[in-house]
A = this chain, B = another copy of it.
Amino acid sequence: MQPLGRGYNRRCLCFDLESRVIPPDKLRSVEILPSGPHCRNAEVVAQLAGGEKICLNHRAPWVRRLVRFILEKEGQRWPSG
């Protein structure tokens, strides 16, 4: 679940994948690391509102929908800012 470390160039970062579905309002950020010589699969690391980092399954349809949703959401009116 927790990413292993910041050694992006050496090996896969994610050791275990989170199975819970994360609602968009609990997300602070989503980081996507492409596959490459260091790791055969793309990796998706979500940082939650509380600061916790978890690894998501990049193949899961809900993860792909989540990424699309946060990319496309815009222009909403928020109470401040």
Contact = CB atoms under 8 A, between A and B. Distances in A.
A75 B29 contact: no
Given A42-B70, A71-B64, A73-B42, A78 B32 contact: no
B27 A29 contact: no
B71 A58 contact: yes
Interface of A: 8, 11, 24, 27-42, 44, 58-59, 63-64, 67-68, 70-76, 78-81
Given A37-B81, A38-B81, 11 more contacts: A8-B29, A30-B31, A32-B32, A32-B70, A35-B73, A35-B76, A37-B78, A37-B79, A40-B78, A58-B74, A67-B67
Across the A-B interface, give the 10 residue pairs with the lowest CB-CB distance, nearest first.
Answer: A34-B70, A37-B78, A31-B31, A29-B33, A37-B81, A30-B32, A41-B74, A58-B71, A29-B31, A37-B80
